A and B are shown apart, each in its own frame.
Chain A
Amino acid sequence: QVQLVESGGGVVQPERSLRLSCAASGFTFRSYDMHWVRQAPGKGLDWVALIGYDGSNKNYADSVKGRFTISRDNSKNTLYLQMNSLRAEDTAIYYCARVIGVAGRPSYYFDLWGRGTLVTVSS
């Protein structure tokens, strides 16, 4: 079954750290770029970070740059998001998503999403 399953969410105090995982199954994980997208309670979708299929290309939203690190282990079919110096505004459901690129253009979209894991930053 083709799926993504996130884990690692929970309640964490401000300025602490948390690592999220996303386990992929049913497809060739190492062939796909992957992203993290989050959604604060009652709010819209907010892109967080991307990583290329081989881990060599990474980028982050300005709001998390310098605090979050995206990585992957293709031998374990797993995507990670290391979140440091967490803030209240990082409270959200975090989704991992698989990317499909468009030939000939720097454009892509998300064709497979996990169910998300909730991160709550609160003292």
Chain B
Amino acid sequence: SYELTQPPSVSVSPGQTARITCSGDALSKQYAYWYQQKPGQAPVLVIYKDSERPSGIPERFSGSSSGTTVTLTISGVQAEDEADYYCQSTDNIGLYVVFGGGTKLSVL
């Protein structure tokens, strides 16, 4: 089966840089996508195709990829960035979708 692994939690102070990783064998061949989810709300796409940022997403959100690991970086973290973050990808033929387990970002 295809799995994506994320750390359960990351904590940073306001203004610092948060890095959230997502690992999985298929990430060397498939793009990764990142979603932000705040309590009681639907997920929102923040990064697509490993490192592209949708319109309306602040520039402090960026993504990168290296081998089987992708990283979501939030520079100059703000209190409003506190949320759960999920990575997502697909299997090699696009028939299955997989999400990482999610990372809770706490802004201390």
Determine whether A88 belongs to the interface, using a CB cutoff of 8 Å to chain B: no
Q: Please tell me if A11 contacts chain B, counting CB pairs below 8 Å.
A: no
Interface size range of chain B in the complex:
20 to 34
Which secondary structure dominates where chain A touches chain B? strand
Total inter-chain residue pairs, C-beta < 8 Å:
68
A44 to B97, CA, bound (A): 14
Q: Does B79 contact A (CB under 8 A)?
A: no
Is B24 at the interface (CB under 8 A from chain A)? no
List residues of A whose CB falls within 8 A of some B CB: 35, 37, 44-47, 50, 59, 61, 95, 100, 102, 105-111, 113-116
A-B contacts besides A105-B31, A114-B42, 13 pairs, CB < 8 Å: A44-B102, A50-B95, A59-B96, A61-B96, A106-B92, A106-B94, A107-B49, A107-B89, A109-B33, A109-B48, A110-B45, A113-B43, A115-B42
Residues of B within 8 A of A (CB): 30-31, 33, 35, 37, 41-45, 48-49, 54, 84, 86, 88-102
